[in-house]
Amino acid sequence: MKKRVVIVGMGFGGIRAARALAGHGHELLLVDRNNYHLFQPLLYQVATAALEQESIAHSARALVRHWPGARFQLSEVTGFDLDKRLVLTERGALAYDYLVVGAGSITNFFGMQSVERNAFDLKQLSDGEALRNQILRSFEEAVAELDPVRRKGLMTFVIVGGGPTGVEFAGALIELIHFVLAKDYPELSFKDARVVLVEAANAILGAMPAKLSGYALDKLSDMEVEVRLNARVVDAGPESVILSDGTVIPCHTLVWSAGVKATPLAAALNGASSNAGGRVRVAPDLTLPGHPEVYVIGDMAHLEHDGQALPMVAPVAMQMGEYAGRAILAREKGEELPPFRYRDKGSMATIGRNAAVATAFGMNLRGYLAWLVWLLLHLYYLIGFRNRIVVMLNWAWYYWFHERQVRLITWTKERRRTPPAPP
């Protein structure tokens, strides 16, 4: 019997679920507030002028038209009526027989409102463009700034979080400054430019083996990134960042990559229990307790293996999405899959040109080989043949010429207008 499956979220998990279900005679409806799938692991390269934002996004409708029985709806999901099996959206209610929810995560500022007001993050496509504008505009303002202290603050960038995103962004930013912007702005003294990476733990890339973490730390230090371990940001303003030990760093650009939490939509799953990160606790088969027709996947789902919660990363979301799709098909055949089990294939992070760290299948790689593996895997998982070609050409251009073409400021600060006097 034909069933209707609604998939909320066009992230890594949602796409994998749709692929597993397509062509099996069921009606698929994919709902997202954006009309594209974003390849988030490369968003930091948009922010550092290495890639155009269009090259890491792919049209949702272009994907769906290749999946039999599937269609896409651009809409904001506002809630759920689980008893009536309805997804509530700004365009009205959507009925379902099965529901797969993979709406992802948002940045976690841990309740620090001053940091949230003043920090940039990298979760949405627009975030990459906004951060690139901020970086380039800071150097434009530094050229015209007469106060040397403020000029140095404009050329100082603080990145919070020593995980893969923070490390990759720090390496890309320092290369942009040294190899590209130093030539664009001969008026500036680049000994004043600083990239500061702040990590609360005693090591960066803490999930990796100590040798790889140490290699990354040494490499960043050689690239002149200032790494501050055992340090926390406790306050921030438009022109300064304050650390837990009282250190004040004058800077105009703060980038936050120190944590994520489930999207607020997770709270709309009525009666669902959640942990401190707002994630929804799911059964071993990824269903919502009490509602076996609802699957929660990706960053929204809280599931423990061997006493540890699964990390909020893309590989987990992809495997969960694939499992949810196969589980629905199995149930329609009167079969049952064994509980979901995540297969950890390893992790990796690039530090800069010819330098990366990777751990996979018991092997630890670093340097050029790890960097090459990182390049090939990211090209492989990037969706869209055109996107792969564009990204590969951009990387090749930068590798050979140390030049980044996307140095565009696409917005200007609004001028404050004085209202006209009344007649």
Give me the sign of the Cα torsion angle 399, 403, 406, 407: positive
- Is there a contact between 115 and 255 (Cβ–Cβ < 8 Å)? no
Contact yes or no for 342/319 (Cβ under 8 A): yes
Choosing from 168, 175, 199, 322, the catalytic residue is 168
Tell me the three state secondary structure of residue 118: helix
Whether 109 and 256 have beta carbons less than 8 Å apart is answered as yes
Q: Is the dihedral of CA 381, 382, 385, 390 positive or negative?
A: negative
d(CA 404, CA 46): 11
Q: How many CA atoms lie within 13 A of 159 on its CB side?
A: 29
3-state DSSP assignment of residue 223: coil
Is 168 marked active-site? yes
The DSSP-derived string for 140-167 is HHHHH---HHHHHHHTEEEEE--SHHHH
Q: Which string of DSSP letters, residue by residue, matches 297-339?
A: -GGGEE-EETTEEPPSSHHHHHHHHHHHHHHHHHHHTT--PPP
Residues classed as catalytic: 168
